Chains A and B, each alone.
Chain A
Amino acid sequence: MERQVILNEKHLELTLKRLSHELIESHNDFSQTVLVGLQPRGIHVVSRLKETLETILKNPVLCGNLDVTFFRDDFRRRERPLIPSITNLDFSIENKKVVLVDDVLYTGRTIRSGLDALLTFGRPNKVELLVLVDRRFQRDLPIQADYVGKAVDTLISERVSVEWKETEGADKVVLFTKE
Chain B
Amino acid sequence: MTNLSVDHLTGIKDLTLQDIELIFKTADSFKEVINRPIKKVPSLRDITIANIFFEDSTRTRLSFELAEKRLSADVVNFSASGSSVKKGETLVDTVNNILSMKVDMVVMRHPNPGAAHFLSKKVNARIVNAGDGTHEHPTQALLDAYSIREKLGEVAGKKIVIVGDILHSRVALSNIYCLQKLGAEVMVCGPTTLIPKYIHQLGVKVSHNLIEALEWCDVANMLRIQLERQEIKYFPSLREYSMLFGLNKEILNSLSKEIVVMHPGPINRGVEMTSDVADSKQSIILQQVENGVAIRMAVIYLLAAKIER
Contacts and interface: CB of A to CB of B under 8 A. Distances in A.
Given A80-B2, A81-B3, A116-B42, A87 B29 contact: yes
Contacts of B3: 79-81
A137 interface: no
A60 interface: no
B307 to A, nearest CB: 6
A98 to B, nearest CB: 15
Interface string B42-63: 1110100000000000000000
B25 A120 contact: no
Contacts of A70: 29, 33, 41-43, 71, 301
Contact of A84 (B26, B38, B40, B71): B26
Nearest to A92: B37
Contacts of B304: 76
A109 to B, nearest CB: 14
Nearest to B22: A83
Contacts of B87: none
Nearest to A69: B29
Contacts of B29: 67, 69-70, 84-87
Contacts of A83: 2, 22, 25-26
B305 interface: yes
Interface in B1-34: 2-3, 22, 25-26, 28-29, 32-33
Interface string A77-112: 101111111110000000000000000000000000
Contact of A120 (B38, B307, B309): B38
Interface of A: 67, 69-72, 75-77, 79-87, 116, 119-122
15 contacts: A70-B33, A70-B71, A71-B41, A76-B46, A81-B3, A81-B302, A82-B305, A83-B26, A84-B29, A86-B29, A86-B32, A87-B32, A120-B36, A120-B38, A121-B36
